[in-house]
Amino acid sequence: MPITLKWILICCLIGIFSGSASAFFLVSLEFVTKVRAHNEWIIWMLPLGGLLIGYSYFYADSKIAKGNNLLLEEYNEPDKRVPFLMAPLVLLGTLITHFFGGSAGREGTAVQMGGAIADLCTPIFKLNHSERKTLMILGISAGFASVFGTPLAGAIFALEVVFFHKINLRSIVLSFLVAYIAYFTVEFWEIKHTHYSIPSVPEMDFTALFWIIIVSILFGLAALLFARSTHFWGKLFSKNIKYPPLRPFVGGIILALSIYFIGTTKYIGLGIPMIVDAFSLHNAPYDFILKILFTGFTLGAGFKGGEVTPLFFVGATLGSALSVIVPLPIALLAGMGFVAVFSGSTHTPIACTIMGIELFGLQSGVYIGIACIIAYFFSGSVGIYKSQILKGPKSILYQSIRKKGLKYL
């Protein structure tokens, strides 16, 4: 089989199956969220849901628990195939998390399903280690593009999260191809994505630029806090509860009690209604902090799901809260925070800028681009993916900072 035809076929298989998996996931996620919203007593079952997730992962391949980090590790140093069991396990684990009231996202689930599906092509097409690197990119691209409905951002995210300098032209072209195939597959299944808008974008001037810089630094610090929070809770549970299945069980008890005592469920699940409202209504200044706390604790305890939608929540609500004192439109600030906090947490400013343009329109592109770049530099050296290798200008900056003794960054 000619090599070009082989890779086109691989892209079609990954795109169609990953897109279909994401479509099923999105429909299932909407269903379990609605059931929980109409039966809030289910939240008291969160410890049992955590126990089920804990035992499922404990008796499966230990590599699967690494999640997105496993895909990054296999890209950097291809070793063994990604177990296909990762796909159904992360799907089930994420649905359980959301059904019982955990705070988590969805990108991790789609990306892991995409990676597991992509690696099925390894024995079929007899691919070597170098070609498996391309497969990892394709799986990430397909999963991200299909779950968010942003094919350009999905393709670039897959390339940027593993850093561009090791990537050949073939991987770049194929990443875009598989992203669009996965995206149109979800469209074929008639799955609708959430729409956001920034109706008013002011002219850029020195005053606007000043405020962009200020809020973007805050977005970067929020990203740093989010990443450190998730890692902190993960280490705390690992250190104090040696038997892994008990971690989400204990975490579930604490989460259920916390939700009961604060008297609201707006910080659990994806938080899409809060994100949508942030573009038109002022948020309380503590909303983003509580979402960081609930999500970091949920994922650190061992529940499953992604981090990106909670990052959208954090950024949008922080931007909304800042609109009280910053003389920029509330929707623009929410949109900037939406992608800038994501940029800082994943070290992917280019993909996040493209995502912002895809979601909010080209007219806000300059504001979004500046916000993503500044947040990227002010978010610290550790992102949400521990196995991600920090490279590029940010790496150079933080190496020089460490030489001066500021290791806490």
The answer to whether residues 123 and 172 belong to one domain is yes
Instruction: Note whether residue 194 is domain-resident.
Output: no
One-letter amino acid for residue 391 of the chain: K
Taking the C-alpha atoms of residue 252 and residue 268, their distance in angstroms, rounded to an integer, is 12
The answer to whether residues 355 and 382 belong to one domain is yes
A 10 A CB-CB count for 2 gives: 7
The two tokens of residue 350 are: 């280019």
**Burial class of 210 by CB neighbour count within 10 A (0 to 12, 13 to 18, 19+):** exposed
Contact 309, 107 (CB under 8 A): yes
The backbone region for 389, taken as left when phi is positive above 0, alpha when psi lies in -120 to 50, beta otherwise, is beta
The two tokens of residue 393 are: 């200008």
Instruction: Note whether residue 200 is domain-resident.
Output: no
Predicted pLDDT of residue 106: 95
The answer to whether residues 219 and 300 belong to one domain is yes
Beta-carbon contacts of 285 under 8 Å, excluding residues fewer than 6 positions away, are 321
Predicted pLDDT of residue 363: 95
Decide which of 168 and 64 is more confident: 64
The gap from C-alpha 142 to its chain's centroid, in whole angstroms, comes to 14
The answer to whether residues 220 and 269 belong to one domain is yes
Q: How high is the mean pLDDT of the chain?
A: 93
Domain stops at, among 138, 157, 188? 188
Average pLDDT on 204-214 reads 97
Predicted pLDDT of residue 102: 98
- 195-204 pLDDT, tens per residue? 899 999 999 9
Domain stops at, among 125, 158, 188? 188
Query: Is a pLDDT exceeding 60 seen at residue 408?
Result: no
The answer to whether residues 353 and 264 belong to one domain is yes
The CATH number of the domain holding residue 112 is 1.10.3080.10
- 337-396 pLDDT, tens per residue? 999 999 999 999 999 999 999 999 999 999 999 999 999 999 988 899 988 877 666 666
- 65-118 pLDDT, tens per residue? 999 999 999 998 887 889 999 999 999 999 999 999 999 999 999 999 999 999
Q: Is 121 helix (H, G, I), strand (E, B) or coil?
A: helix
The answer to whether residues 228 and 373 belong to one domain is yes
The gap from C-alpha 377 to its chain's centroid, in whole angstroms, comes to 19
Instruction: Note whether residue 201 is domain-resident.
Output: no
The answer to whether residues 178 and 211 belong to one domain is no
Taking the C-alpha atoms of residue 365 and residue 141, their distance in angstroms, rounded to an integer, is 22
- 292-349 pLDDT, tens per residue? 999 999 999 999 999 999 999 999 999 999 999 999 999 999 999 999 999 999 999 9
**DSSP string for residues in 282-323:** PPPTTHHHHHHHHHHHHHHTT----SHHHHHHHHHHHHHHHT
Query: Residue 258: which domain range?
Result: 206-403
User: With pLDDT > 70 as the criterion, what percentage of the chain qualifies?
Assistant: 94
Instruction: Note whether residue 195 is domain-resident.
Output: no
Contact 171, 133 (CB under 8 A): yes
Tally of domains in the chain: 2
Positive or negative, the Cα torsion across 152, 160, 191, 365?
negative
Q: For residue 325, what are the CA distances in angstroms to 20, 100, 117, 154, 330?
A: 44, 37, 47, 34, 10
Instruction: Note whether residue 282 is domain-resident.
Output: yes
Where do we find the tokens 């610290």?
Answer: 380
The answer to whether residues 150 and 59 belong to one domain is yes
- Band of the pLDDT at 404, cuts 50, 70, 90? low
The answer to whether residues 117 and 167 belong to one domain is yes
The answer to whether residues 377 and 231 belong to one domain is yes
Taking the C-alpha atoms of residue 119 and residue 14, their distance in angstroms, rounded to an integer, is 9
Predicted pLDDT of residue 391: 67
Instruction: Note whether residue 113 is domain-resident.
Output: yes
Number of helices (H), then strands (E), in the chain: 18, 0
Instruction: Note whether residue 199 is domain-resident.
Output: no
Where do we find the tokens 């199956």?
Answer: 17
Predicted pLDDT of residue 401: 56
Taking the C-alpha atoms of residue 128 and residue 131, their distance in angstroms, rounded to an integer, is 5
The answer to whether residues 69 and 96 belong to one domain is yes
**DSSP string for residues in 4-15:** HHHHHHHHHHHH
Predicted pLDDT of residue 269: 97
Q: Is 391 helix (H, G, I), strand (E, B) or coil?
A: coil
Predicted pLDDT of residue 129: 87
Taking the C-alpha atoms of residue 158 and residue 20, their distance in angstroms, rounded to an integer, is 19
Q: How many residues are there in the chain?
A: 409
Contact 65, 85 (CB under 8 A): no
Query: Is a pLDDT exceeding 60 seen at residue 397?
Result: no
Instruction: Note whether residue 281 is domain-resident.
Output: yes
The answer to whether residues 153 and 31 belong to one domain is yes
Query: Is a pLDDT exceeding 90 seen at residue 165?
Result: no
Query: Is a pLDDT exceeding 60 seen at residue 41?
Result: yes
Q: Crossing angle for the helix pair 308-322 and 330-346, nearest 10 degrees?
A: 140
Domain stops at, among 156, 188, 220? 188
